[in-house]
A = this chain, B = another copy of it.
Amino acid sequence: MLKITRKVEYALIALRHMQAKDPEGLTSAKEIATHYGIPKQLLAKTLQQMARDNIIQAVQGPTGGYRIRANLGKISLKDFFERLEGPLGMMDCFFESDCIQINACNIRVPIQRINDNMRDMFSKMTLMEVTQ
Protein backbone atom coordinates (compact mmCIF):
# COMPACT_ATOMS: atom_id res chain seq x y z
CA MET A 1 0.00 0.00 0.00
CA LEU A 2 1.30 3.42 -1.08
CA LYS A 3 4.67 2.04 -2.04
CA ILE A 4 6.93 3.18 -4.82
CA THR A 5 8.25 0.52 -7.16
CA ARG A 6 11.67 -1.00 -7.29
CA LYS A 7 12.05 0.42 -10.77
CA VAL A 8 11.70 3.95 -9.43
CA GLU A 9 14.16 3.24 -6.65
CA TYR A 10 16.69 1.87 -9.10
CA ALA A 11 16.26 4.93 -11.28
CA LEU A 12 16.83 7.23 -8.34
CA ILE A 13 19.87 5.30 -7.19
CA ALA A 14 21.31 5.56 -10.67
CA LEU A 15 20.64 9.28 -10.98
CA ARG A 16 22.17 10.03 -7.63
CA HIS A 17 25.16 7.87 -8.46
CA MET A 18 25.73 9.68 -11.72
CA GLN A 19 25.35 13.07 -10.13
CA ALA A 20 27.73 12.30 -7.27
CA LYS A 21 30.27 11.03 -9.76
CA ASP A 22 31.59 13.08 -12.63
CA PRO A 23 28.43 14.65 -14.07
CA GLU A 24 30.17 14.95 -17.44
CA GLY A 25 31.52 11.44 -17.72
CA LEU A 26 29.66 8.29 -18.67
CA THR A 27 28.45 5.60 -16.32
CA SER A 28 27.53 2.12 -17.51
CA ALA A 29 24.55 0.10 -16.34
CA LYS A 30 26.95 -2.61 -15.28
CA GLU A 31 28.87 -0.30 -12.97
CA ILE A 32 25.72 0.77 -11.15
CA ALA A 33 24.23 -2.70 -11.07
CA THR A 34 27.26 -4.31 -9.50
CA HIS A 35 27.90 -1.43 -7.11
CA TYR A 36 24.41 -1.50 -5.64
CA GLY A 37 23.46 -5.12 -6.23
CA ILE A 38 20.72 -4.32 -8.70
CA PRO A 39 19.68 -6.77 -11.46
CA LYS A 40 21.59 -5.46 -14.43
CA GLN A 41 19.05 -6.08 -17.17
CA LEU A 42 16.27 -4.49 -15.19
CA LEU A 43 18.37 -1.46 -14.40
CA ALA A 44 19.39 -1.22 -18.04
CA LYS A 45 15.78 -1.13 -19.17
CA THR A 46 15.03 1.57 -16.65
CA LEU A 47 17.99 3.63 -17.82
CA GLN A 48 16.85 3.17 -21.40
CA GLN A 49 13.45 4.44 -20.46
CA MET A 50 14.95 7.50 -18.81
CA ALA A 51 17.04 8.03 -21.93
CA ARG A 52 13.90 7.98 -24.09
CA ASP A 53 12.44 10.57 -21.72
CA ASN A 54 15.55 12.73 -22.12
CA ILE A 55 16.29 12.63 -18.42
CA ILE A 56 19.63 11.05 -19.22
CA GLN A 57 21.63 10.66 -22.38
CA ALA A 58 22.75 7.29 -23.72
CA VAL A 59 25.97 6.60 -25.58
CA GLN A 60 26.38 3.27 -27.31
CA GLY A 61 29.37 1.13 -28.03
CA PRO A 62 32.13 0.03 -25.67
CA THR A 63 33.12 2.88 -23.34
CA GLY A 64 29.50 3.91 -23.73
CA GLY A 65 27.06 4.55 -20.93
CA TYR A 66 24.78 7.24 -19.61
CA ARG A 67 25.07 10.76 -18.30
CA ILE A 68 22.54 13.12 -16.83
CA ARG A 69 20.98 15.34 -19.42
CA ALA A 70 18.06 17.13 -17.76
CA ASN A 71 18.13 19.72 -15.01
CA LEU A 72 17.12 17.57 -12.07
CA GLY A 73 16.06 20.63 -10.12
CA LYS A 74 13.36 21.29 -12.69
CA ILE A 75 11.75 17.87 -12.83
CA SER A 76 9.15 17.32 -10.13
CA LEU A 77 8.87 13.98 -8.44
CA LYS A 78 5.31 13.77 -9.73
CA ASP A 79 6.50 14.12 -13.33
CA PHE A 80 9.33 11.70 -12.74
CA PHE A 81 7.04 9.07 -11.23
CA GLU A 82 4.55 9.49 -14.04
CA ARG A 83 7.16 9.20 -16.76
CA LEU A 84 8.36 5.92 -15.31
CA GLU A 85 5.13 4.41 -14.08
CA GLY A 86 2.27 6.21 -15.77
CA PRO A 87 -0.53 8.29 -14.23
CA LEU A 88 -0.24 8.74 -10.48
CA GLY A 89 -3.45 8.10 -8.62
CA MET A 90 -4.27 6.43 -5.32
CA MET A 91 -7.40 4.85 -6.74
CA ASP A 92 -8.39 3.15 -9.98
CA CYS A 93 -11.04 5.67 -11.03
CA PHE A 94 -8.38 8.30 -11.42
CA PHE A 95 -7.19 6.81 -14.70
CA GLU A 96 -9.55 3.94 -15.41
CA SER A 97 -13.30 4.09 -15.67
CA ASP A 98 -14.10 0.44 -15.15
CA CYS A 99 -14.42 0.35 -11.39
CA ILE A 100 -17.54 -1.64 -10.54
CA GLN A 101 -18.36 0.71 -7.67
CA ILE A 102 -18.00 3.86 -9.72
CA ASN A 103 -21.70 4.64 -9.94
CA ALA A 104 -22.73 4.02 -6.36
CA CYS A 105 -19.39 5.08 -4.88
CA ASN A 106 -19.77 7.54 -2.03
CA ILE A 107 -16.09 8.30 -1.48
CA ARG A 108 -15.02 9.18 -4.97
CA VAL A 109 -15.07 12.94 -4.45
CA PRO A 110 -13.34 13.01 -1.06
CA ILE A 111 -10.74 10.49 -2.15
CA GLN A 112 -10.03 12.61 -5.21
CA ARG A 113 -9.38 15.52 -2.89
CA ILE A 114 -6.88 13.51 -0.93
CA ASN A 115 -5.29 12.32 -4.12
CA ASP A 116 -4.94 15.94 -5.21
CA ASN A 117 -3.08 16.67 -1.99
CA MET A 118 -0.70 13.82 -2.63
CA ARG A 119 -0.04 14.87 -6.20
CA ASP A 120 0.46 18.45 -5.06
CA MET A 121 3.04 17.29 -2.58
CA PHE A 122 5.01 15.42 -5.21
CA SER A 123 4.65 18.34 -7.60
CA LYS A 124 6.45 20.55 -5.14
CA MET A 125 9.43 18.23 -4.73
CA THR A 126 12.10 17.90 -7.37
CA LEU A 127 14.41 15.10 -8.34
CA MET A 128 17.26 17.16 -6.98
CA GLU A 129 15.97 16.68 -3.46
CA VAL A 130 16.63 12.98 -3.84
CA THR A 131 19.82 13.07 -5.80
CA GLN A 132 21.79 15.66 -3.86
Query: A: which residues have CB within 8 A of B?
Result: 1-5, 8-9, 12-13, 16-17, 20, 35-38, 77, 81, 85, 88-92, 100-101, 104-107, 110-111, 113-114, 117-118, 121, 125, 129-131
A5 to chain B, nearest CB (A): 5
CA distance A85 to B2 in the complex (A): 10
The dominant DSSP class at the A interface is helix
Indicate how many identical chains form the complex.
Answer: 2
Instruction: Flag if B117 contacts A125 (CB, 8 Å).
Output: yes
* A106 CB contacts on chain B under 8 angstroms: 13, 16-17, 20, 36
Known pairs A106-B16, A117-B125; A37 contacts B101 (CB<8 A): yes
